Amino acid sequence: MSEPRRSRALLVGVQIPPTSDSEHTASLDELARLAKTLGYDVTGRVMQKRSALAAGAVVGEGRLADLVRLAADVEAVLVDHEITPSQARNLEKATGAEVLDRTAVILAIFHRHARSREARLQVELARLAYLAPRLRESGAGRDRQGGGIGAKGAGESHLELDRRKLRDRMAELRRELDAIANEGGSRRRRRAEHATVALVGYTNAGKSSLMRALTGSTVLVADRLFATLDTTVRAIEPPTRPRILVSDTVGFIQKLPHDLVASFRSTLEEARDSDLQLHVADASDPAFRSHLGVTSEVLEEIGASSSPVLRVLNKRDRLSAEAEASLSDEFPDAILVSAKRPEDVARLRAAIVSFFERDMEEIELQIPYTRSRVLAEIRANCRVVEEEHDERGTRVRVRARPELLAKLRAALA
C-alpha cells in the first residue's frame, strides 16, 4: 500500500537591502526546513530583489505571474516574511493556495510540538496575539439578537464580538501563565543553592543531545526544528557535590516572533537565572555564526545577557580535521564537541565543574551530634574534603558555594 502524498509548498522570498545574497539564501533554506518540519515537500522558490515588500501581493507583477503559474500544483505558499492580512488575502486569491507567512509557520510548528500544559498555553497566547489583527468581519453589517453574559450588546457586530472573546481569552491565558510562572519562580528559588547551567542556542543545534549526554536523562532528541519547547532540569552525571543542575530550553531562530518570545518568557527565565549559559551552536552549519548572533539578541531581549557564557560548538563529528583546526583558531575560548563522543562530553563536563570550582570556598565547621540534619545537608550538597569525629561532634572541612556556606553558618549559630 503506497503512502499518502505529502502536501506540497512553494517558498516566496524578497531580498531587501542590506540583506546579502548568502543571507537571503540561508533564510529561505531555513524556511524550507521549517516547511519540512510542518509536513510539506517544497517544490520550488520564487525570489525577487526589492527595496520593500510589494504592498499588494508581496512580489511585483512579473514575479506574481511566475508564482501563480508555479502554485498550480501546490497546496500552500510559504512567505519568508511577516505579511499583512491584505497581502495574504491577495496572494490566496491569486494562487488559490493557502498562504502562511514565516510567523504562521513557526506558530504552527510550536502548536504541533507543545506537550506540557504551560507550553500549550504559551503557544495559544502567541497564536491569538497573531490572529487578533487578522480577524475579518464575516457578513458585514449583520447583527444578532441575544442577551446574557458574553452575548452581543446593542449594535455590536460579529467582528467586535469575536475580538472581545479573543481579548477575554488572552487575559485568561495570561492569568494562568502568571500562576504557572509563580510556581516556576518558587522552584527556581529552591534551586538557588545549587549551581545551575542553561543550554541555550539555535533550534536543532543539539542542545537536547548534550542534555541527555551530560545528565543521563531521557529528554526527547530529534533531528527537527523546535523538538524541545518545555524546560527540563536534571542534575549532571556522574553527580557532583555540590550538585550542578542543567536545564534545556526552547531553541531560537531568525525572525522569532516577538509574541512567542513574550509568551515563553517564563520558560526562558531559566536561562536568565542560571549561573552559567552554554551557548550551543551546530558547527557543521555554515550559518552557525549568525545563529550565535540570534541567540545573543534573544537573550538580550529577555534580560538574560548578563550571565557568564561558555560557547560550545557541537557536531564536530561532521567536520573535517581542517575545519576543526580552523574553528579552534577562530574561537579559541570555545569547546568543540560531539554529543555522540563520550570523551567530548567528559571534557565539557570537566569544563563546567571547573567553572564552578572557581567560586567555591573552603571552610571548617563543627557539627554537634544533636545537629545531624545539618550534617546530612552538608553531605548532600557540599564537597566534604575532610571529616573527623570527637567528643564534641563532627568536624568537617567542606567546599561549597558562598551562599550555601552562609546558610550553614546561620543554621549552626
**Cell 512553494 belongs to which residue?**
10
Same domain for 219 and 299, yes or no, is: yes
Domains of the chain: total: 3
Same domain, 195 and 319: yes
Same structural domain, 301 and 396: no
Do residue 305 and residue 389 come from a single domain? no
Task: Out of 108, 128, 157, pick the residue that ends a domain.
Answer: 108
Residue 230 confidence (pLDDT): 57
Task: Find the CATH number of the domain harbouring 47.
Answer: 3.40.50.11060
Residue 153, in any domain of the structure = no
More reliable by pLDDT, 184 or 66: 66
Task: Output the pLDDT for position 383.
Answer: 85
Residues 369 and 408 occupy one common structural domain: yes
Task: Check pLDDT > 50 for residue 151.
Answer: no
pLDDT(137) > 50: no
Q: Please report, for the domain that includes residue 310, its CATH number.
A: 3.40.50.300
Same domain, 196 and 307: yes
Residue 182: CB atoms within 10 A of its CB come to 11
Q: What average pLDDT score do residues 366-371 get?
A: 89
pLDDT band at 168 (very low <50, low <70, confident <90, very high): very high
**Cβ neighbours of residue 378 under 8 Å, at least 6 residues apart?**
365, 367, 384, 396, 398, 408
pLDDT at 54 over 50: yes
- Asked if residue 346 is part of any domain, the answer here is yes
Whole-number average pLDDT of the chain: 84
Domain containing residue 400: CATH number: 3.30.70
With a CB cutoff of 8 Å and minimum separation 6, the contacts of 106 are 34, 226, 253, 256, 257, 260
Are 372 and 279 in a shared domain? no
Model confidence at 222: pLDDT above 80: no
CB 254 within 8 A of CB 289: no
What is the C-alpha to C-alpha distance for residues 261 and 179, in angstroms, rounded to an integer? 18
In a domain, 186, yes or no: no
Reply yes or no on whether the pLDDT at 72 is more than 70: yes
Q: For residue 216, what pLDDT is reported?
A: 85
Query: Is residue 301 included in any domain, yes or no?
Result: yes
* 260 or 322, higher pLDDT: 322
pLDDT value at position 231?
67
Q: Is residue 24 part of a domain?
A: yes
pLDDT band at 55 (very low <50, low <70, confident <90, very high): very high
- Choosing from 84, 108, 132, the residue where a domain stops is 108
**pLDDT computed for residue 409 by the predictor:** 87
**pLDDT single digits (tens) 340-367:** 999 999 999 999 999 988 888 889 999 9
What is the extent of the structural domain holding 81?
7-108
CA distance 179 to 334: 38
Lowest average pLDDT, out of 23-27, 131-135, 150-154, goes to 150-154
Residues 200 and 335 grouped into a single domain: yes
- 313 and 372 in a single domain? The answer is no
Same domain, 219 and 300: yes
407/284: higher pLDDT: 284
Q: Dihedral sign, CA of 99, 102, 104, 106?
A: positive
Distances from the Cα of 168 to the Cα of 97, 223, 262, 342, 413, angstroms: 32, 38, 18, 51, 53
State residue 161's pLDDT score: 84
Residue 375 lies in a domain: yes
Average pLDDT over residues 231-253: 83
Residue at a domain's end among 60, 85, 108: 108
Contact (CB, 8 A) for 371 and 408: no
Residue 156 within a domain: no
Instruction: Using alpha carbons, list the distances in angstroms from residue 92 to 75, 87, 127.
Output: 11, 9, 20
Considering the domain architecture, whether residues 25 and 96 belong to the same structural domain is answered as yes
Residues 343 and 371 in one domain: no
What's residue 101's pLDDT? 94
Q: What is the pLDDT of residues 83-114, one digit of tens each?
A: 999 999 999 999 999 999 999 998 888 888 77
Task: Determine, yes or no, domain membership for 401.
Answer: yes
**Confidence (pLDDT) at 154:** 47
Give the pLDDT score at 392.
87
What number is the average pLDDT over the span 268-293? 89
